[in-house]
């Protein structure tokens, strides 16, 4: 069998590289959080150094085998799936701190470090890594960078892109590049750092990164409000934005919330149920009396303008945590229902209009599906989730959802929005990329891939 031959060849050529090809490992490391497609990789490898990653890439080039870089596999677009006979390169063992630099407030780490470990390391040094979302406990920083992860704090802190000061990568051609090297100002030639950020493994493998940290936000307050008219959501956003700077602004529907509540891991904290909800968080100042005046002002404005029916505020850590559970548990619970996920964005100015049209589309043409919406409205990003109805097969369900996606993406195209705001294109959105990118842009991307990966071994069948 070819499969066995390659594994034998790999063990002979690279005996020092840790591998595993058991069914259990192939299943675990060959798939990501997208459950609608099943991977079938050849071999799982666990390099310990950038040099070993290079050796694996060289081996793959020599033998014309595909490579899939693998972080925490929390991706939702199938970008880390070993689709067919690839070598999976797990960065799991490369999870070490290389250097913390106090003067710079930077952390240099290997790509396999768990996002939450990086957050914790920052906190331990009285600093803050602001990229945050439900899966940080298992996602890795390399994966965050390769997918330009977003999450709930983008409205203030930007995407992962904003925090990367340097990268070490192994290109598909087997070249080791050290990009930007921690410099704040560097205009010496074309910027490859940003080209690799969000490239989803099609150009190469990220093995190390220098990450910038920032100050810990102080005296945060989380507000949890409920209301019954969809159009209120952007008005609430505008009212709060005018008064203060937001750390987060998350919207979700009652349908979405019910998934979070179904597992009974926490108790609902508002008194009544509403059709729509927003959780928003604001940063405090050094001046507590100013902060509480501001809080009163925000709450009374929202009630006076009849934008909310009910609301609570959480100021201490425990109260804020409890409020946030209502949002965080939505994707966690939904993932058990084989959801079809759309992760779309439009410009902030287009949000009210877009939401209205999307609502009409879902209501008129897809009202037999349960649709759970939630999203980072503050930065133009909406997640439209459809759990698989129990009676349908995965194939039947995918076909209906492909139709729906096509309809949603046509609307996105009209608004010049993105078919992938933060999840990436991966395996599942490749065929829809043309709704966000022109044919010329897609051709240019293919040409750029060829430069870094002339034999096309890097994450085959993904993105373009």
Hey, how many other C-beta atoms are within 10 angstroms of the C-beta on 203? 24
Tell me whether residue 189 is exposed, middle or buried, using C-beta atoms within 10 angstroms of its C-beta: 0 to 12, 13 to 18, 19 or more. exposed
How many angstroms separate the Cα of 11 from the Cα of each of 16, 20, 82, 246, 297?
8, 10, 20, 53, 67
Could you give the 3-state DSSP secondary structure of residue 184? Answer: coil
Token pair listed for 173 = 């051609």
CB 192, min distance to a second copy, A: 7
Which residue reads 């005996």 in tokens?
A: 15
Using the minimum distance from each CB to a second copy, give the nearer residue, 195 or 400. Answer: 195
CB 292 within 8 A of CB 204: no
Using the minimum distance from each CB to a second copy, give the nearer residue, 223 or 249. Answer: 249
Instruction: Work out whether strand 87-90 and strand 43-46 pair parallel, antiparallel, or are unpaired.
Output: parallel
**Residue 4 CB partners (closer than 8 Å, separation 6+):** none
Using the minimum distance from each CB to a second copy, give the nearer residue, 46 or 129. Answer: 129
Instruction: Work out whether strand 43-46 and strand 18-20 pair parallel, antiparallel, or are unpaired.
Output: antiparallel
What gap in Å lies between CA 433 and CA 202, rounded to an integer? 15
Return the closest-CA partner of residue 81 out of 97, 92, 66, 68: 68
Query: For the stretch 137-146, what's the b/e string if a residue is b when 16 or more beta carbons lie within 10 angstroms of its beta carbon?
Result: eebbbbbbbb
Q: How many degrees, rounded to 5, is the angle at CA 338 between CA 409 and CA 134?
A: 85
Using the minimum distance from each CB to a second copy, give the nearer residue, 45 or 140. Answer: 140
Q: How many degrees, rounded to 5, is the angle at CA 346 between CA 439 and CA 243?
A: 155
CB 452, min distance to a second copy, A: 7
Using the minimum distance from each CB to a second copy, give the nearer residue, 44 or 213. Answer: 213
Instruction: Work out whether strand 246-253 and strand 221-227 pair parallel, antiparallel, or are unpaired.
Output: unpaired
CB 450, min distance to a second copy, A: 9
Using the minimum distance from each CB to a second copy, give the nearer residue, 250 or 379. Answer: 379
CB 382, min distance to a second copy, A: 10
CB 449, min distance to a second copy, A: 8
Using the minimum distance from each CB to a second copy, give the nearer residue, 389 or 456. Answer: 456
CB 373, min distance to a second copy, A: 16
DSSP string, 42-83: SEEEE-SSHHHHHHHHHHHHHHT--EEEESS---SSSTT---
What gap in Å lies between CA 75 and CA 64, rounded to an integer? 26
Using the minimum distance from each CB to a second copy, give the nearer residue, 58 or 104. Answer: 104
CB 307, min distance to a second copy, A: 16
CB 404, min distance to a second copy, A: 18
Using the minimum distance from each CB to a second copy, give the nearer residue, 3 or 349. Answer: 349
CB 150, min distance to a second copy, A: 5
Using the minimum distance from each CB to a second copy, give the nearer residue, 394 or 451. Answer: 451
CB 40, min distance to a second copy, A: 25
Strands in 73-152 per DSSP E: 87-90, 97-101, 106-110
């Amino acid at each position: 069998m070819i499969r066995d031959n390659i594994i034998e060849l790999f063990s002979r050529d690279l005996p020092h590289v840790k591998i595993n090809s058991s069914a259990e490992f192939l299943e675990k490391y060959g798939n990501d959080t997208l459950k609608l497609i099943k991977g079938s990789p050849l071999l799982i490898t666990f390099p310990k150094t950038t040099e070993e990653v290079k050796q694996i890439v060289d081996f793959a080039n020599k033998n014309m085998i595909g490579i899939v870089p693998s972080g925490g596999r929390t991706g939702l677009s199938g970008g880390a799936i070993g689709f067919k006979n690839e070598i999976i390169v797990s960065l799991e063992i490369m999870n070490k701190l290389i250097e913390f630099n106090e003067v710079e407030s930077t952390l240099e780490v290997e790509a396999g470090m768990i996002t939450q470990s990086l957050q914790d390391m920052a906190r331990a040094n009285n600093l803050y890594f602001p990229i945050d979302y439900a899966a940080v406990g298992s996602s890795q920083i390399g994966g965050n960078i390769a997918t330009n992860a977003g999450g709930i704090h983008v409205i203030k802190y930007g995407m992962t892109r904003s925090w990367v000061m340097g990268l070490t990568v192994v290109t598909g051609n087997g070249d080791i590049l050290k990009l930007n090297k921690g410099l704040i100002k560097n205009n010496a030639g074309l910027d490859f750092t940003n080209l690799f950020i969000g490239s989803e493994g099609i150009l190469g493998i990220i093995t190390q990164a220098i990450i910038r940290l920032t100050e810990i936000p102080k005296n945060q307050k989380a507000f949890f409000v409920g209301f019954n008219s969809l159009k209120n959501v952007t008005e609430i956003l505008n009212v709060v934005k005018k008064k203060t700077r937001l750390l987060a602004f998350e919207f979700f529907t009652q349908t979405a919330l019910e998934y979070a509540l179904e597992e009974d891991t926490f108790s609902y904290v508002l008194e009544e149920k509403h059709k729509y909800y927003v959780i928003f968080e604001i940063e405090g100042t050094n001046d507590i009396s100013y902060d509480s005046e501001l809080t009163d002002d925000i709450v009374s404005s929202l009630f006076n303008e009849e934008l909310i029916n009910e609301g609570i505020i959480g100021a201490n850590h425990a109260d804020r945590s409890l409020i946030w559970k209502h949002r965080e548990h939505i994707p966690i619970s939904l993932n058990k229902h084989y959801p079809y996920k759309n992760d779309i964005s439009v410009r902030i100015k287009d949000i009210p209009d877009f939401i209205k049209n999307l609502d009409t589309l879902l209501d008129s043409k897809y009202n037999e599906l349960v649709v759970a919406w939630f999203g980072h409205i503050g930065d133009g990003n909406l997640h439209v989730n459809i759990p698989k109805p129990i009676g349908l097969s995965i194939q039947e369900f995918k076909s209906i959802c492909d139709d729906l996606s096509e309809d949603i993406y046509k609307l996105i195209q009209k608004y010049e929005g993105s078919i992938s705001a933060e999840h990436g294109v991966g395996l599942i959105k490749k065929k829809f990329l043309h709704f966000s990118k022109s044919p010329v842009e897609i051709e240019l991307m293919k040409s750029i891939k060829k430069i870094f990966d002339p034999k096309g071994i890097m994450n085959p069948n993904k993105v373009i």
